[in-house]
Structure 1
């Protein structure tokens, strides 16, 4: 086993190098000079702020931001006020809300070591330890709250501690966070892709989405008293093979219909109203070739906040829910708007906003007055973020003539000559690279003079539902060819050096990185695989069962002999003998999505084939590095890897 080869750094290491913390195990990574850590330190201190929830009775926000080593929750009592830390745990806490019936009691979620086995807790005023509200043997998610605020809606599912399972289910329960004896199970649902829950204003019905894939979902209405369900979009009377996707359900105030986003009648998800009596869809709002990605109805049911993805930029629009006419737009700063959250007063709307020069801050809109308040101010001592470079859109033609797009961030013109390139391939694959704040990656551009390209290969979202299916099943390698075409495009650019290209990707992007390393071994100088898939068959067999069927729709069913043979043929472990460029692999040992054994496989085979391999394994992380101490050492190692492969240092 590779773990037997891993070396655990100890405090005996000399003081002129960085000492990895005891949770990090390393192979092949050279000592990191302490001078490097000191130099890059300002780039590791960005603290994006995210609005999580409003206080139910006061105009105060719960904001998530890093406190020490992990993200924790904080209370902000007014725009610009100092943060008061609410949670303080070794594990990150990213979601929490105060209870209306006990306004200073906080309900929050937390997992352990990145295992995503989330539990729900209540932290009472003055208490040192929280009260566990859910079954610790299961994975639990708070997915809604009744209109009366008496009950939380909790979705829970079993884990694979007793072995992998087929045909998993989820339980929906109403949980009273102040009196667990009043809690009850609503229903057991087939599959695990249920979400976007919305209670009717009388709490008698529950709207929900059954998610099958990014291109296929179904809208259901459940009777809360009985658990009986009726499919309403497409209705159970509709037959045919056309797949549609709908999301972001909001029961209308009168209970006669639902506001939602759907792509039933086109390539993009549009804002619509579904009449539950007639089944008729009525579209409204701004036109354009973009997806609606959030629909949030105010608690009084009178105003809709809608976020749209316009060429990668998140745009906020407001609508009168009764007339469905667009309201004036608030004067928010330039940037991408994400995640709109209403206060119970139905007047204040919190949004998160970031841009190339802003790490991420919280603003609120007073909707009746159309006034804007800035609640937080993200700063990084010693760095002028206003000087960071702005990504620019690019396009290129792929092997079959399909136009592929992405963004390039070029370094300052003070860097002369052709610049090395870092290609950053997003995960998902149902996701999209969008212009925004690059965080510590700004160091690569500003201090190393590296150009960064973020491609949106076929299979990405944001370009219509057809584009999102172009990599499914046995078309998987077509997306890899899109990166091959990008390498051709780089060679045509007068300021970019095609002989100095490193490919990076996380999760599915990690697979893409390894696939580029095996399909184009002579055209890259290095590859960095973070929590990536190396063997599709073992990945599908070992990912947590609550995820497996959803991943089979995208990648193919490994139980089918023909598909299994195809997945085996294209898997990087099968082709690892082709890897020539240096490889850096990083993974979290508790990853429930892509098990760390994927990393072990590719590292073992690549090392045995003589390829230079760096390997970093974090014992207390999951699908990514969430703890600053781990993320910092990973960052230092990435810099050292890029300096060696791209800058010959």
Structure 2
């Protein structure tokens, strides 16, 4: 990173214990075909790139963003509006970054090959001065926020005992770290109240909810602000400049997320903006004069604004996609990143008052013609118990007859399939295979009740939703429900493991990435951040009741019922779902002579981040799906 390669050692897990040497991926040659044509190699889709996680600095003259042009997630910077992009980090890839309040420096984190144990660094925006703030350790860390003067920042860490996220204060001048709150499970610092030592802190209450506190950095006193009887989500905390009001996003006492304001003096809370849709991103701009937010409308975002004190809300028209927004405190200039089905990330600079728009970063499409790309259509259909399920359906262009289909299951489970750049999906539809990016029960974006329909004993209801999707497809003349595969990563990988064993005749093939096979073992050995949320989503695995439940209801118990060919991918450094979760499935299936393709990456964790590994992964996966689905 920056100028300090040697401060970022690279570790690889030993492979001697794994008996199948052919499962350890080897390098491959790169042949991307001809520009402008429908790509015959998925590598060209993977080489298309754009800006992600873009944000504007406090002075409004620079944007930072993440790009993987080097094959790693690196930090870049660009003068606004029309400067040349400059790479700032150079090592093994970053995990997060944030602007310092002075707008001249950035803090970032980096781990070792996906182990999620981050070191923190501070780097000048010119890329010529860098310092280690927190060196690598065995602890997990989560960055909080800077004090308003930028002299201190907060973070959470498990360094004390390896399990609980305590809250720490780091002094930028002295380098001193001080624990200011000793926690149990998951407590995380959020926004620092201006002109005080008070910090908003959230406590994990399941995967989709938090309780909210005010913490004094000086005394360590933790005072509750919101601990509702019905758990609610809280995020996007923004103090006014004088610290007299706290804005936040929550579904407190309602189904969909809205914008609220809290007055610390009166201790009163009121809803400021509500909608029939979830509000996702939210910012306060122009010296507290302008509120801007995104509404999630069936997986496609809309940007809206409202002057403070006005009753009028207006939309800022932009191309369809998944948005992220940032602004400066002093102006109404808004930076909007758009990730869409036809672009891996473009950035707009918008004057929220005049609505004037300037594209400040264009995606590099690697010679792919956008006319060959497909936008999804929104679909909804009933499950057998009447619950409405949702998804985004990508159909091959010019399809004649019924198309084979892949159902893609997102991770989480508290996440959502939204419109975005999906290289594998675009490759498959170009080969005549439809893709349903499904939102089963438990997904976000459709209300608090829907998100909690898969909690604890209802876990297998969401697995059944995948089979009910096939039932719906049989009524749709565009799709061949009898020629379908299912794939997914993380929680989606568990879903694949589960549905292939519990409903062995439903799918022609399954592909599971970094998925759980044994919930008892996975929940007991989960990384600390997951353990903090798992207690409500899955049940507290320390209790015999849940050990008994998952001893029965885990894919490892139905693996012997799997009939169809399987594909597995797992990183040996995965701290969330250990690689042994896939190892056991693979060994059992091979003993049964079920065809299995397995990619066991020695230098990856909970996901495939390095470009050379991504090319291997997606090439093998695409070939597997094409082999087992009949294509015209």
Using the size of structure 1 for normalisation, the TM-score is 0.88
| Residues matched between the structures, number | 612
CA distance 1:295–1:440, change in 2 (3 Å): same
Matched, 1:395 2:380: yes
User: 1:28: which partner in 2?
Assistant: none
User: 1:294: which partner in 2?
Assistant: 281
CA distance 1:337–1:43, change in 2 (3 Å): closer
Determine the C-alpha separation between the residues in 1 that align with 2:165 and 2:70: 38
CA distance 1:368–1:490, change in 2 (3 Å): closer
CA distance 1:20–1:255, change in 2 (3 Å): same
Query: 1:500-649, aligned counterparts within 5 Å?
Result: 500-647=483-630
Residue deviations 1:444-494, cap 9 Å, x none?
Answer: 101x10000011111111111111111111111111111111111122222
Determine the C-alpha separation between the residues in 1 that align with 2:525 and 2:314: 50
Matched, 1:359 2:365: no
Matched, 1:424 2:420: no
Unaligned runs of 5+ in 1: 11-18, 22-30
CA distance 1:412–1:547, change in 2 (3 Å): same
Determine the C-alpha separation between the residues in 2 that align with 1:494 and 1:328: 40
Structure 2 counterpart SS, 1:213: coil
Query: 1:20-169, aligned counterparts within 5 Å?
Result: 20-21=26-27, 39-57=41-59, 59-89=61-91, 91-93=92-94, 95-97=96-98, 99=100, 104-124=104-124, 130-137=130-137, 138-158=139-159, 165=163, 168-169=164-165
Structure 2 counterpart SS, 1:180: coil
Structure 2 counterpart SS, 1:132: strand
Structure 2 counterpart SS, 1:209: strand
Residue deviations 1:363-411, cap 9 Å, x none?
Answer: 1222343322211111323211243111111122212121111121110
CA contact (8 A) 1:133 1:180 kept: no
Determine the C-alpha separation between the residues in 1 that align with 2:160 and 2:612: 29
Runs of 4 or more, structure 1, over 6 Å off, are 31-38, 125-129
Unaligned runs of 5+ in 2: 1-14, 34-38
User: 1:14: which partner in 2?
Assistant: none
CA distance 1:640–1:216, change in 2 (3 Å): closer
Query: 1:153-552, aligned counterparts within 5 Å?
Result: 153-158=154-159, 165=163, 168-176=164-172, 179-181=173-175, 184-195=178-189, 197-234=190-227, 241-288=229-276, 290-298=277-285, 300-321=287-308, 323=309, 325-326=311-312, 328-331=314-317, 333-413=318-398, 415-446=399-430, 448-552=431-535
CA contact (8 A) 2:67 2:73 kept: yes
Determine the C-alpha separation between the residues in 2 that align with 1:394 and 1:126: 47
CA contact (8 A) 2:343 2:365 kept: no
CA contact (8 A) 1:139 1:159 kept: no
Shift in Å, 1:637: 0.2
CA distance 1:134–1:219, change in 2 (3 Å): same
Residue deviations 1:19-71, cap 9 Å, x none?
Answer: 823xxxxxxxxx99969997333222111212433344451111211122112
Determine the C-alpha separation between the residues in 1 that align with 2:155 and 2:382: 46
Determine the C-alpha separation between the residues in 2 that align with 1:185 and 1:571: 39
Determine the C-alpha separation between the residues in 1 that align with 2:51 and 2:260: 31
CA contact (8 A) 1:51 1:350 kept: no
CA contact (8 A) 1:425 1:454 kept: yes
Residue deviations 1:322-375, cap 9 Å, x none?
Answer: x164454434x2223522212253332212112222221111222343322211
CA contact (8 A) 2:185 2:528 kept: no
CA distance 1:386–1:173, change in 2 (3 Å): farther
Determine the C-alpha separation between the residues in 2 that align with 1:125 and 1:273: 34
Shift in Å, 1:513: 0.7
Shift in Å, 1:257: 3.0
Structure 1 counterpart SS, 2:73: strand
Shift in Å, 1:295: 2.4
Determine the C-alpha separation between the residues in 2 that align with 1:125 and 1:352: 20
CA distance 1:402–1:633, change in 2 (3 Å): same
CA distance 1:493–1:368, change in 2 (3 Å): closer
CA distance 1:542–1:2, change in 2 (3 Å): farther
Determine the C-alpha separation between the residues in 1 that align with 2:605 and 2:160: 15
